[in-house]
Amino acid sequence: MSSISVGQENSGSIDLYYEDHGKGKPVVLIHGWPLSGASWEKQVAALLPAGHRVIAYDRRGFGRSSQPSTGYDYDTFAEDLHKVVTKLDLRDFALVGFSMGGGEVARYIGTYGSKLVSKAVFIASVPPMLLKTADNPEGVDGSVFEGIKKAIAADRPAFLTAFFNNFYNVDVLGGKRISDEVVRYSWNVGVAASGKASLDCVATWGTDFRKDLSRIDVPTLVIHGDADRITPLAATAARTHKAVKGARLLVVEGGPHGLTATHADKVNPELVDFLK
């Protein structure tokens, strides 16, 4: 099992599990909530034969990484990513973030710059800012996040069942573009995550990435489904596209939040073409 130590909590090391496969130009894949690096299965299958070295790691608290009680904020997440990049001595690498992972892409470049980064990809991602405020009227009302926190605290497994139904738009795509088994697998991965991490991460979804996006100066691709019920297109991708100079926006018709699974046939060719 490959892991990188990113810190310490009391007597235990905080380790991030990662997989590092293939040869060629590096691509770092950063997963969404509450999944793990395994959620990139269909993209890894496309990137490896395209000649890439593919690195996918599990965020702290999720997948096979350590489950500490602290560090669930984007400054720490970006620092964790920086430690992965440094440990693996990556150069000229692309960053690809899905959902929450898009926050790491933005905060990493906003904090550490783009000297070593070749390209950036945001897929169904949370930037620029999901929380509705006086200067961010396009965001989502804070009461929505509070309701999610209460539902997780009350019955996290039950919440995840409803969440994944909307994650994949099962009522529309079930039995067509997504199987019951994939939905069940996602639930199993999600419920195995740290309860503390699962709850604490909800607060991060309202993080302001607007300054981070303004510092992105590498070729950028934004991919989003127009049927995304988790991170609505108008509040996220449409604005990220405008915020990053020269960014390209690909809107996948009928794509739900989990379009990397349901619409891999649309996402993968665009991703491979952009990264080549």
13-30: b (≥16 Cβ within 10 Å) or e? ebbbbbbeebeebbbbbb
Decide if 99 contacts 124 (C-beta within 8 A). yes
Residue 106: left (phi > 0), alpha (psi -120 to 50), or beta? alpha
* 212 is annotated as an active-site residue: no
- Residue 205 phi/psi, 5-degree rounding, is -65, -20
SS3 212: helix
Catalytic annotation, pick one of 31, 241, 257, 263: 257
Which residues contact residue 179 at a Cβ distance below 8 angstroms, ignoring those fewer than 6 apart?
none
Catalytic annotation, pick one of 36, 99, 186, 194: 99
* 52 is annotated as an active-site residue: no
* 13 is annotated as an active-site residue: no
Catalytic annotation, pick one of 15, 228, 241, 263: 228
Q: Distance between CA 104 and CA 81 in Å, rounded?
A: 8
State yes or no: cis peptide before 128, omega within 30 of 0: yes
Among 118, 123, 121, CA closest to 93: 118
Active site residues: 99, 228, 257
